[in-house]
Amino acid sequence: MKIEQAGKSLPQPLGRSGSRAVSTAKSDDAATVDDSVSINPAAAQLSQSDAGNGQVFDTQRVQALRQAIADGRFTVRTDAIADRLIDSVKELLGK
């Protein structure tokens, strides 16, 4: 059984939230969408801290950590990780 679809348009897919349809048809009267982005202050500070001088990380420190891991001398301090994670979340939330 052959199904004829010639001349029929397919339904337009919905956007991410389901509220805006994505149009594939060309139109001279295309609507302009005004999207904006804001960067949180902590992210802006991070991007300006080391990126300005071109050095993203300390290669000697990375090599020392690799050697410590290979030798079995590296220990993960979960309490320090948890404390810093909580501090960064508080900073992001503005508390």
- The dihedral built from the CA positions of residue 61, 59, 77 and 50, taken in this order, carries a sign that is positive
Predicted confidence (pLDDT) per residue in 1-28, tens digit: 556 655 556 555 555 544 444 455 555 5
For the question of whether the overall pTM of this predicted structure is more than 0.75, the answer is no
Question: Torsions phi, psi of 81, nearest 5?
Answer: -65, -45
Predicted confidence (pLDDT) per residue in 45-83, tens digit: 776 665 556 667 889 999 999 999 999 999 999 999 999
Strand partners, 14: 21
Strand partners, 32: none
Cα three-residue angle 74-78-83, rounded to 5 degrees: 130
